[in-house]
Amino acid sequence: MPDSKLHELSAQGQSVWIDVLSRKLIHEGALERMMKEDAVVGVTSNPTIFQKAIADGDAYDEQMQELMQGGTSDGKEIFLNLAVRDIQDACDLLRSVWDGGKGQDGYVSMEVDPTLAYEREETFDEAMRLHEWIDRPNLLVKIPATKPGLGAIEDSIAKGKSINITLIFSLQRYREVVEAYLRGLERLVASGGDPSLVASVASFFVSRVDSEADKRLEAIGSDEALALRGKLAIANAKLAYEHYRQAFSGERWDYLQSKGATRQRCLWASTSTKNPEYRDVLYVEELIGPETVNTMPQETIQGFQDHGKVAVTLETGLDEAHRLMEQLAGVGVDYNDVVLTLEEEGVQKFADSFDDLLDGVRSKRRELVPA
């Protein structure tokens, strides 16, 4: 069978990860099939993904009963036990990818409690706990890129732990994320640690940027404003990649690389298209480039396999991307307010999903008590 379009995309240096995880996906062979047929080499998860997985059928009932019989009654601890088993199993399935690629891919991500997003020490403690508990070299613990999260990210890297920085919207915040990674590596090297064992990705949320910017452009309503719809998300990501190229070069980086450090790749998340007027694989086709990751939901994977176009696009149109920022300001859209709003809403949405998830666990627990 000829290579698929996602295999062609991978040949351009972009890794395909999937933004879904469940016990059925792992144990009924779907994830392994996607590794072979869809070039999938990594998995990301979040509270919403686990909420859907646990609510779907009875795949988790037996373990929940065992936990309750063993005296575990707290909703969060039940959830963590369920999720940790899935993450461990997925890590084991992808371990061959991690081994074969010398730690470049084969990662599975699990997020810290999103209600801790503004608590530096608590976030760091939970990241350390998850790494110790899951105990897999191809685990990435996800920490949100809030201001307090930056400190937890740096501290985690300095301890030699691999981190997926999530919920990045702002170019300024991305620069701070890169700096936290570099400082963490420098602290690790200074303490005698081995940076070659540390991996990190910086997860830019893409489609939500257009959703928020388009809403504001439509409210302005002028022809000039309406002509800018559907452009900010791609420009934002391209400008982030431009900074990536700059940050991971030069004397400072060369020193860390000589000690075994690896670049913190940009990861494009939230790449399903929210606006039905836009091409369904827009946020894949327009952001293809080397040393990057695109984590896609299943429908985006299927859509790209069917009709995606593979070409290196990530470093084209940079002048237009810079000019767009000026054009947005010219029509009255405040970029800094757009990305701040998205960060605050993103943290709140994940926290709400986590609360819903725990409510679902408690409801399921009540159902299983008589069993």
Residues with a catalytic annotation lie at 142
Residue 121 near residue 105 (C-beta atoms within 8 A): no
Q: Is 291 left (phi over 0), alpha (psi -120 to 50) or beta?
A: left
**Cα(367)–Cα(171) distance, integer angstroms:** 46
- Give the separation between CA 316 and CA 238, rounded to whole angstroms: 8
Other CB atoms within a 10 A radius of the CB of residue 239 amount to 17
DSSP H helices in 30-119? 30-37, 47-55, 61-69, 75-100
Q: Is the dihedral of CA 6, 7, 11, 17 positive or negative?
A: positive
3-state helix, strand, coil in the chain (%, to 5): 60, 10, 30
Q: Where are the alpha helices (DSSP H) in 70-170?
A: 75-100, 120-134, 147-158
